[in-house]
Amino acid sequence: MTDLLKEPALYAGEIDENLDLSLPATSGEEYIKQVILEARKCESVVVAEINEARLKKPTINLAGCTEAPASFAPSLEWQECQVADFSKTRLYIARIRDEIQTSKRKWKPPPVDFPNMEDQKGWINLCCGSPDTEYKALPPTLDVILALNQPTIENVLEYLVNFIEEQGIIQFALGRWIYVLLVALELPLNPDMCSCLRSLARACSVIRANVINPDEYRVASLNLFICLVARYFRQLDLADQ
């Protein structure tokens, strides 16, 4: 059976190795001969040359959190309490959104001039304030959060997490926005948002590990964000044990 498969399907007769392949075939038989000659010039195995310099290396960071100093590590009971309170707050916000959508609750968007969704600097100024422009931080009130859709919430979270990684500190106003945005963040998480929350937890753990005077930083806030990312949003490999 194998030998049968090796037999030619079409008879081409004797083939002149000096046949000019640049000229068009004058008959079907001559065309088959040209094809056979071209096939003989091809190597049986071809390996593509890869320019490794042009290949992008993976940028995924799978590192865990920096271990907390013994004096700053939260207890498991404290973490469980924070997760329970956070869950109740999320249910409260979800119920209000549902009542607004079903017209059971009257609500009007607040008179706030939000930055464009792609305006990273504008959102950071709105959340943290800017002494350069005398821009006062906007408190993340219930009406403000209800006015934000999910794409905007996700974008702003990414902006703030990037800002935390660059600055190495979490200001009070920024921390308050982070918490409220996490409250309003819908599940399930998409891959980009999952990566963003993991970056938040890692950044908080680095800041916490470098704390010298605990009065200077809000260690409880750092512990809280690590706790919520790890235990509520199920990134358990980042959890404080």
DSSP class per residue in 15-80: --TT--TTSPPSSHHHHHHHHHHHHHHS-SS------GGGSPPP------PPPPPTTTPPPHHHHH
Nearest to residue 224, comparing CAs of 181, 188, 175?
Answer: 175
The full set of domains in the chain, from first to last, is 2-41 (no CATH), 76-238 (1.20.58.1070)
- Are 211 and 69 in contact by the 8 Å Cβ rule? The answer is yes
Q: What is the pLDDT of residues 48-103, one digit of tens each?
A: 666 665 554 444 444 678 888 778 889 999 999 999 999 999 999 999 999 999 98
Q: Quick one: tokens of 41? A: 């010039």
| Choice between 175 and 215, residue whose per-residue pLDDT is larger | 175
| pLDDT value for 67 | 85
Percentage of residues in the chain with pLDDT exceeding 90?
48
User: Phi and psi dihedrals of 212, rounded to 5?
Assistant: -100, -50
DSSP state of 228: I
| pLDDT value for 17 | 67
Q: Helices 191-209 and 150-167, interaxial angle, to 10°?
A: 30
| pLDDT value for 188 | 92
Q: Give the global pTM.
A: 0.71
| pLDDT value for 46 | 63
| pLDDT value for 47 | 66
Q: What is the pLDDT of residues 121-150, one digit of tens each?
A: 999 999 987 665 555 788 999 999 999 999
Q: What is the pLDDT of residues 185-206, one digit of tens each?
A: 999 999 999 999 999 999 999 9
Prior bond of 24 cis (ω within 30°):
no
Q: Which helix (H) or strand (E) holds 218?
A: none
Nearest to residue 94, comparing CAs of 168, 169, 27, 145?
Answer: 145
Nearest to residue 148, comparing CAs of 174, 102, 182, 199?
Answer: 182
| pLDDT value for 214 | 67
Mean pLDDT of 216-230: 86
